[in-house]
Amino acid sequence: MNSNPTPLEPKAGRESVRRHNLSLVLRAVHEEGEATRAKVAARVGLTRAAVSSLVEQLLASGFLTESGKTFSGQAGRPGTVLKVARTGPAGLGVEVNIDYVSVCVVDLAGTDRVRLTEHLDNRGVPPHEVLGRAARIAGRALESAAEQELRPVGVELALPGLVSAGTVRQAPNLGWSRVAAEDLFARALAGRRPGGPALPVSAENEANLAALAELWFGGLGSVRTFLYLTGEIGVGGAVVLDGELLRGAHGFAGEIGHVVVEPDGPECRCGSRGCLEQYAGQSALLRTAGLDENAGAAGVAELERRARDGDQRAMEALEAAGAKLGRVLSGAVNLLDPDAVVLGGIYRGLMPWLSPAAGRELTGRVVSGLWSRDSGRLRASSLAGDAARGAAALVVRDVLADPVAYAEVARRA
Amino acid sequence: MNSNPTPLEPKAGRESVRRHNLSLVLRAVHEEGEATRAKVAARVGLTRAAVSSLVEQLLASGFLTESGKTFSGQAGRPGTVLKVARTGPAGLGVEVNIDYVSVCVVDLAGTDRVRLTEHLDNRGVPPHEVLGRAARIAGRALESAAEQELRPVGVELALPGLVSAGTVRQAPNLGWSRVAAEDLFARALAGRRPGGPALPVSAENEANLAALAELWFGGLGSVRTFLYLTGEIGVGGAVVLDGELLRGAHGFAGEIGHVVVEPDGPECRCGSRGCLEQYAGQSALLRTAGLDENAGAAGVAELERRARDGDQRAMEALEAAGAKLGRVLSGAVNLLDPDAVVLGGIYRGLMPWLSPAAGRELTGRVVSGLWSRDSGRLRASSLAGDAARGAAALVVRDVLADPVAYAEVARRA
Mind listing the pLDDT tens digit for each residue in B151-188? 999 999 999 999 999 999 999 889 999 999 999 999 99
Put simply, whether A239 touches B (Cβ < 8 Å) is: yes
Q: Would you say residue B412 has pLDDT above 80? A: no
Identify the pLDDT of residue A16: 86
Residues A264 and A279 in one domain: yes
**A336 contacts B253? CB cut-off 8 A:** yes
Look at B170 and A369 and tell me if their CB atoms are within 8 Å. yes
- Are A228 and A366 members of one domain? yes
Closest among A304, A298, A353, A303 to A325, alpha carbons compared: A353
Interval B367-407: pLDDT, tens: 988 998 778 899 999 987 789 999 999 999 999 999 999 98
Secondary structure element (H or E) that encloses residue B155, with its range: strand B150-159
Residue A257 falls inside a structural domain: yes
Question: Are B367 and A170 within 8 A, CB to CB?
Answer: yes
Q: Is residue A66 part of a domain?
A: yes
Q: Are residues B291 and B362 in the same domain?
A: yes
B259: nearest CB among A162, A331, A364: A331
Q: How confident is the model at residue B70 (pLDDT cuts 50, 70, 90)?
A: very low
Q: Is there a domain that residue B290 lies in? A: yes
**Which of B60, B84, B108 represents a domain boundary (last residue)?**
B84
ipTM for the assembly: 0.84
**Paired sense of beta strands B226-231 and B235-241, if any:** antiparallel
A378 contacts A359 by C-beta, under 8 angstroms:
yes
Give the Cα separation of B155 and B183 in Å (integer): 12
Last residue of some domain: B59, B84, B109?
A: B84
Q: What pLDDT, on a 0 to 100 scale, did the predictor assign at position A71?
A: 44
**Domain check: are A263 and A319 in the same one?**
yes
- Nearest neighbour of B270 by CB, restricted to A255, A367, A370: A367
pLDDT at residue A193, rounded to an integer? 84
**Is the separation of the CB atoms in A232 and A347 below 8 Å?**
no
| d(C-alpha A120, C-alpha A117), whole Å | 10
Average pLDDT, chain B: 91
What is the C-alpha separation between A363 and A369, in angstroms, rounded? 7
Q: Is residue A370 part of a domain?
A: yes
Predicted confidence band at B7 (pLDDT cuts at 50, 70, 90)? Answer: low
Helix axes A347-365, A312-336, angle to 10 degrees: 60
| Letter string b/e over residues A76-102, b meaning 16 or more CB atoms within 10 A of that residue's CB | eeeebbbbbbeebbbbbbbbbbbbbbb
Q: Is B225 on the interface with A (CB under 8 A)?
A: yes
3-state secondary structure of B170: strand
The closest CB to that of A259, out of B162, B253, B335, belongs to B335
- For residue A393, give its domain range: 88-208+387-412
Whether residue A126 is found in the same domain as residue A74: no
Domain boundary among A54, A84, A114: A84
Cross-chain residue pair A330–B259, CB shorter than 8 Å: yes
Summarize the confidence of residues B321-326 as an average pLDDT. 97
**Helix, strand or coil, per DSSP, at residue A315:** helix
pLDDT in the model for residue A12? 57
| More confident: A13 or B264 | B264
**Listed range (B29-38, B277-286, B291-300, B402-411) with the worst mean pLDDT:** B402-411
CB contact under 8 A, B252 and A368: yes
Q: Are B330 and B285 found together in one domain?
A: yes
B34-43 — which CB contacts under 8 Å span 24+ positions?
B34/B81, B34/B82, B34/B83, B35/B81, B35/B82, B36/B78, B36/B79, B36/B80, B36/B81, B36/B82, B37/B76, B37/B78, B37/B80, B37/B82, B38/B78, B40/B82
Residue B330 belongs to a domain? yes
CATH of the domain at A263: 3.30.420.40
In chain A, which residue's Cα lies nearest the Cα of B365?
A272
User: Mind telling me how many Å the CA of A250 is from chain B's nearest CA?
Assistant: 7
Span B176-205, average pLDDT = 92
Instruction: Indicate yes or no: CB of B337 within 8 angstroms of CB of A253.
Output: yes
Residue B2: per-residue pLDDT? 39
Give the span between the Cα atoms of B353 and B101, in whole angstroms. Answer: 28
- If you ran DSSP here, which 8-state letter would residue A101 be given? E
Closest CB to B334: pick one of A249, A256, A327. Answer: A256
Give the model's pLDDT for residue A411. Answer: 79
Per-residue pLDDT of chain A (413 residues; tens, 9 = 90+): 334 455 655 455 788 889 999 999 999 999 999 999 999 999 999 999 999 999 999 999 999 999 875 444 455 455 689 999 999 999 999 999 998 999 999 999 999 999 999 988 999 899 999 999 999 999 999 999 999 999 999 999 999 999 999 999 999 889 999 999 999 999 999 998 887 788 999 999 999 999 999 999 998 989 999 999 999 888 999 999 999 999 999 999 999 999 999 999 999 989 999 999 999 999 999 999 999 999 988 999 999 999 999 999 999 999 999 999 999 999 999 999 999 999 999 999 999 999 999 999 999 999 988 998 778 899 999 987 789 999 999 999 999 999 999 988 887 76
Predicted local distance difference test score (pLDDT) of residue B344: 94
Contact B258 A328 (CB under 8 A): no
Report the first-to-last Cα separation within chain B, whole angstroms.
25
- Total domains present in chain B: 3
Residue B1 lies in a domain: no
Residues B401 and B341 in one domain: no
Are B376 and B397 found together in one domain?
Answer: no
Distance of alpha carbon A1 from alpha carbon B330, whole angstroms:
33
pLDDT (0 to 100) of residue B401:
95
State whether B256 and B344 are in the same domain.
yes
Residues B225 and B373 in one domain: yes
DSSP letter assigned to residue B258: G
Please check whether residue A105 is in contact with residue A150, taking contact to mean a CB–CB distance below 8 angstroms: yes
Domain shared by A174 and A78, yes or no: no
pLDDT of residue B71: 44
Which residues 184-203 in chain A show a CB within 8 A of chain B?
A: none
The answer to whether residues B359 and B292 belong to one domain is yes
Q: Are A234 and A173 spatial neighbours (Cβ–Cβ below 8 Å)?
A: yes
pLDDT, residue B9, reads 52
Does a structural domain hold residue A98? yes
Under DSSP, is residue B51 helix (H, G, I), strand (E, B) or coil?
A: helix
* Cβ contact B335–A335 (<8 Å): yes
Residue A246 lies in a domain: yes
CATH number at residue A76: 1.10.10.10
Alpha-helical segments (H) within A61-205: 127-147, 181-192
Can you give the pLDDT at residue B75?
52
Going by the DSSP 8-state scheme, the letter that residue B28 receives in this structure is H
